[in-house]
Amino acid sequence: MATNMEQLQALLPQAEAIVRQAGALVNSLKHPQVYTKEGHANFVTEADLSSQKFLLENLAPLLPEAHFFAEEQKENHLVPGFNWVIDPIDGTTNFMRGYRPCAISVGLVKDGAAVLGLVYDVWAQELFTAIKGGGAFCNGQPIRASQAPLENALISFGTSPYYRDRAQATFAAVKDVFLHCGDVRRSGSAALDLCYVAAGRCDGFFESILSPWDFCAASLILQEAGAQISTLKGPLRCDKATAVLAGSPAVFQALCDLVRPHFAGL
């Protein structure tokens, strides 16, 4: 399958239906079994595992040659060609506690570059989507990044909670950003934070380290909405964990200038 626009547009509605069904499955599991993983307060639930199993089984027939790069499977890596990059629940701790922001994130990567992205807010039932070169949408309606200046901007951030050695740098950066912008927010779902930048609901986002399944789909949605995203040192890649900085054109460079010095030693 060549990834021209028409073929991706044909694939998208099928992927949308699968992601929404996975969201319904997650919503049906109100009190799931909880397991711990490596890292501080790093959890996986029965809902994460059920969502991932459903996604793998149902996405596989859409693109039989595609490899899966998913959070809750072992020996994760990208391969040449197509890869589905999946976070079955982004914001697992939120989900466990009934604290609303959490999402299912599904990105399709071709030779390292994201070509399709879906992020589904399982509580608000908002589905953010993008095809490379085709714009960004929320529930089928076009979205666009904000043009608010930094002094009025709303900036979201992540705390990299599994990496407590990064706390000092993170909160020093948050303080610096807070003193230059309108206000700051912490939601617990990086995928949704990035989609909110895409939708103009906030203006920027940063976190000292994220895994590819946290940002892959949302990074495409964000860029198709006219915003910018990068690592500390350059273009974002979907094959490894990295720092992520993102923002509307009005704030991106200023946000990078504020955050990068604090994260330089990480």
CA gap 119, 196 in Å, rounded:
11
> To the nearest whole number, what is the mean pLDDT of the chain?
93
Instruction: Tell me if residue 196 falls in helix, strand or coil.
Output: helix
- State yes or no: pLDDT of 223 exceeds 70: yes
What proportion of the chain, given as a percentage, has pLDDT over 70? 95
Residue 147: pLDDT band (50, 70, 90) is: very high
Place of tokens 């992540």: 158
CA gap 230, 113 in Å, rounded:
14
Amino acid making up residue 248 = S
What's the CATH class of domain 5-142? alpha beta
Per-residue pLDDT reduced to its tens digit, 149-194 = 999 999 999 999 989 999 999 999 999 999 999 999 999 999 999 9
Architecture of domain 150-263: 3-Layer(aba) Sandwich (3.40)
Find the helix or strand (DSSP H, E) in which 193 lies: helix 190-198
Nearest to 258, CA basis, from 114, 155, 152, 119:
155
CA gap 6, 238 in Å, rounded:
24
Amino acid making up residue 149 = P
Phi and psi angles of residue 265, each rounded to the nearest 5 degrees, phi first: -90, 0
Query: Where in the chain are the domains?
Result: 5-142, 150-263
Place of tokens 């095809």: 131
